[in-house]
């Protein structure tokens, strides 16, 4: 893993004792909130590995929920996030999982409301850095540290080229691009991290393409 500066090694400004278990957890929760686009009515969190063993003592539970409430890593409201969420009527459940995962700091967030739900898996890789490695059953690699576009589309010839052409037209430089599918010829997910801010016009053009189901923007 490459770090941009000494501050990435030291870790972010944050509430809590651990950049991996607290700041990283808050960022996973906040990415879940950004992908869901609204405040959920219920949140189920499963902790794996080191997260499962230490989440209460290291504040991983309050950090995850703080992120879901759209709090940043340094927001002092994180400390009381679970209480705040429950006062809002959000139902919360935590589970300690025994399954062995590829990374010790792994959390699965399943949350939703009457209109829909989302399920993702995130890992905290150190220094407050995270990756979302699964979204609604699709494998992906999303850091949350760069502007990104998530495109759900039919697995068809020319779909990737059509999306790439629009991104090139708007002079966005692609830093990372990944495509995941559950089954050949069915639904697929493009994850595209770029170096510049993403204008709404880009999303509108992408949404107008044939075989595109959903386009989501993630800000850094």
> Tens digit of pLDDT for each residue in 87-140?
999 999 999 998 878 888 999 999 999 999 999 999 998 777 899 999 999 999
pLDDT at residue 102, rounded to an integer: 81
Q: Are residues 21 and 126 in the same domain?
A: yes
Tell whether the model's pLDDT for residue 209 goes beyond 50: yes
Per-residue model confidence as pLDDT tens digits over 152-178:
999 999 999 999 999 999 999 999 999
Domain with residue 173: its CATH number is 3.30.70.260
Rounded CA-CA distance 56/178 in Å is 34
Q: How large is the average pLDDT for residues 10-26?
A: 61
**Taking the CA of residue 40 as centre, how many other CA atoms within 13 Å lie in the half-sphere pointing to its CB?**
27
Domain with residue 42: its CATH number is 3.30.1330.90
pLDDT at residue 8, rounded to an integer: 40
pLDDT at residue 19, rounded to an integer: 54
Q: Are residues 45 and 70 in the same domain?
A: yes
Q: Are residues 121 and 169 in the same domain?
A: no
Per-residue model confidence as pLDDT tens digits over 136-158:
999 998 988 899 999 999 999 99
pLDDT at residue 183, rounded to an integer: 87
Local confidence band at 11 (pLDDT 50, 70, 90 cut-offs): very low
Final residue of a structural domain among 135, 158, 183: 135
Q: Are residues 74 and 158 in the same domain?
A: no
Q: Give the tokens for residue 43.
A: 């949140």
Q: Are residues 128 and 78 in the same domain?
A: yes
Q: How large is the average pLDDT for residues 67-93?
A: 95
pLDDT at residue 18, rounded to an integer: 53
Q: Are residues 159 and 203 in the same domain?
A: yes
Final residue of a structural domain among 135, 170, 204: 135
pLDDT at residue 10, rounded to an integer: 35
Per-residue model confidence as pLDDT tens digits over 183-202:
898 999 999 999 999 999 99
Tell whether the model's pLDDT for residue 71 goes beyond 90: yes
pLDDT at residue 204, rounded to an integer: 96
| Least confident span in 2-6, 41-45, 178-182 | 2-6
Could you list the residue range(s) of the whole structural domain that residue 157 is in? Answer: 148-218
Read off the DSSP letter of residue 20: I
pLDDT at residue 93, rounded to an integer: 97
Rg (CA), the chain: 18
Final residue of a structural domain among 84, 101, 135: 135
Q: Are residues 14 and 123 in the same domain?
A: yes
Q: Are residues 129 and 184 in the same domain?
A: no
Residue 112 to residues 44, 145, 168, 198, Cα–Cα distance (Å): 9, 24, 35, 26
Q: Are residues 168 and 59 in the same domain?
A: no
pLDDT at residue 74, rounded to an integer: 86
Read off the DSSP letter of residue 105: E
Domain assignment present for residue 142? The answer is no
**How many structural domains is the chain composed of?**
2
Residue 5 dihedral angles phi and psi, to the nearest 5°: -155, 175
């Amino acid at each position: 893993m490459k770090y941009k500066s000494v501050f990435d090694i030291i870790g972010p400004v944050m509430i809590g004792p651990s950049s991996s278990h607290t700041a990283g957890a808050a960022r996973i929760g906040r990415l879940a909130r950004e992908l869901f686009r609204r405040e959920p009515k219920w949140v189920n969190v499963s902790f794996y590995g080191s997260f499962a063993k230490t989440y209460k003592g290291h504040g991983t539970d309050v950090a995850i929920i703080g992120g879901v409430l759209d709090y940043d890593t340094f927001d002092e409201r994180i400390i009381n996030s679970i209480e705040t969420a429950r006062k809002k009527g959000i139902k919360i459940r935590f589970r300690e999982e025994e399954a062995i995962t590829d990374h010790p700091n792994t959390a699965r967030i399943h949350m939703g409301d009457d209109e829909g739900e989302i399920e993702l898996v995130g890992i905290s890789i150190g220094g407050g850095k995270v990756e979302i490695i699964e979204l609604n059953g699709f494998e992906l690699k999303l850091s949350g540290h760069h502007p990104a576009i998530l495109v759900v589309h039919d697995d068809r010839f020319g779909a990737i080229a059509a999306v790439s052409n629009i991104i090139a037209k708007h002079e966005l430089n692609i830093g990372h691009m990944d495509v995941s599918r559950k089954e050949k010829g069915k639904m697929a997910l493009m994850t595209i991290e770029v170096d510049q801010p993403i204008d709404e016009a880009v999303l509108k053009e992408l949404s107008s393409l044939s075989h595109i189901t959903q386009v989501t923007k993630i800000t850094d």
